[in-house]
Amino acid sequence: MASSKDPIIVVGAGVIGLSVATLLQSCYRDAPITIIAAETPTTPSPSADYASMWAGAHYRPVPGSTPQLKQEAQMALRTAERMERIADESPEAGVAFSMGVEYLEDPPKEVAGLKTGDVYASPNDGFRVLDQTELPAGAKWGCEYRAYCVNVQPYCRWLLDRFISKGGQVILHRLSSAADAFDFARQRGLGRVKTVVNCSGRNFDQDPKVKIIRGQTVLVKQQYDKTVTRQNRDGSWAFLIPRPRGGGTIVGGTKEIGDPETHPRPETRQKLLQQAVDAYPDFVDSVDKFKILKDNVGRRPWREGGFRIETEFISPERRIVHGYGAGGRGYELSWGTAERVVELVNASPAAKPRL
């Protein structure tokens, strides 16, 4: 374990920044850890850019053979392990395991080759390929497995509260760049900061590889008992994500690349509800029966080529460890990402324990 006492700054209080800050706290017990963020889980009306407030969120594996997907699969497994512990030990955190079901109208090769018993979401996830007779009309492939869902606001709030109760500090402030955190920290009397972790999602808008994917969903009062996802041939998605501890169910959702609209579109709400009725009549069988709690619009901080997890020295004494670009997978990759970011913090000379 590293024993450095140097202060560390984490920029961002989304699910990634909060997970990183939490893990740093357990590795660097003597170092002051400070989060600087424009918005936090206690911000009353979070913006669409604060993605963590708008996610479903469920764990839905994405099988594939590209290096990026393979790496994400590893991070997802690590995350599932920790989420299992959180669900067991801290039910108030808003994480709960349930059945996950998928229906695909047009399954890609990687998926069509999966067999019952394969490790899909985690070891012992009970993965089972559905029989053709179990599939709804139009679906060509389906499966079920043990997954988890996160009630995102209480979960982020829980992470934040734990971070503060263990001595972490949070400063509400909008920086003009993650690099400004070094001077800002000095002005605030936080000492000579050599390490800044950049978990800013997408707000700085300096990385041309980062794009937004707009997502609109509807939170309804009715509670479903599993999370289901249907991918249609036309590229649309119909999913239900029950929020643990009676938080209702997320009915979704859109994936609109580059669409800047931050307001919910009424016609989209109507379409999402109709889709849900068509795909899951056992949940709610007509649109007018939905008890609507809230329309959600969020921007997924998507990055071409995937997550940026790397160290950048902006001077010999100042390094930024990046952890951004989670796209639509920030929750399900959160702990795996945090572990890799903390490894980078440990690895690099600026934070080596002084002898």
Ligand X SMILES: Cc1cc2nc3c(=O)[nH]c(=O)nc-3n(C[C@H](O)[C@H](O)[C@H](O)COP(=O)(O)OP(=O)(O)OC[C@H]3O[C@@H](n4cnc5c(N)ncnc54)[C@H](O)[C@@H]3O)c2cc1C
170 interacts with, out of ligand NAG, ligand X, none, CB within 5 to 8 A per kind: none
The reply on whether position 298 binds ligand X by CB under 6 A is: yes
From ligand X, ligand NAG, none, interface partner of 253 (C-beta below 5 to 8 A by class)? ligand X
Q: Is 204 in the site for ligand NAG (CB under 6 A)?
A: yes
The closest alpha carbon to 27, from 51, 59, 5, belongs to: 5
Nearer to ligand NAG, 297 or 320 (CB): 320
Among 34, 217, 229, 275, binds ligand X (CB under 6 A): 217
Distance CA 58, CA 45 (A): 23
User: What burial letters (b/e) apply to 97-121, b meaning 16+ CB within 10 Å?
Assistant: bbebbbbbbebeeebeebeeeeebb
Sign of the CA dihedral with 201 first, then 206, 211, and 214 last: positive
Choice between 50 and 97, CB closer to ligand NAG: 50
Question: What residues between 57 and 96 interact with ligand X by CB under 6 A?
Answer: 57-58
320 binds ligand NAG (CB under 6 A): yes
Instruction: Work out whether 181 is an interface residue with ligand NAG (CB under 6 A).
Output: no
Q: Does 142 bind ligand X (CB under 6 A)?
A: no
Q: Of 52-60, 63-71, 101-109, 276-284, which part binds ligand X (CB under 6 A)?
A: 52-60
324 makes contact with ligand NAG (CB under 6 A): yes
Whole-number Cα distances in Å, 262 to 12, 266, 291: 20, 13, 23
| 177 part of the interface to ligand NAG, by CB under 6 A | yes
Cα→Cα distances 8→12, 31, 62, 175, 345, Å = 13, 7, 33, 16, 9
On whether the CB atoms of residues 198 and 322 are closer than 8 A, the answer is yes
State which of positions 207-246 bind ligand NAG (CB under 6 A): 207, 210
Q: Is 125 helix (H, G, I), strand (E, B) or coil?
A: coil
Partner that binds at residue 227, options ligand X, ligand NAG, none, CB closer than 5 to 8 Å by kind: none
Q: Is 326 in the site for ligand X (CB under 6 A)?
A: yes
337 lines the binding site for ligand NAG (CB under 6 A): no
36 forms beta bridges with 11, 171
Which of ligand X, ligand NAG, none does residue 195 bind to, with CB < 5 to 8 Å depending on kind? none
CA angle 57, 332, 105 (to 5 degrees): 70
338 binds ligand X (CB under 6 A): no
Using the rule CB under 6 A, is 210 a contact of ligand X?
no
DSSP symbols for 147-211: EEEE-HHHHHHHHHHHHHHTT-EEEE---S-TTHHHHHHHHTT-----EEEE--TTTT---TTEE
* Binding positions for ligand NAG, rule: CB under 6 A: 177-179, 198, 200-207, 210, 320, 322, 324
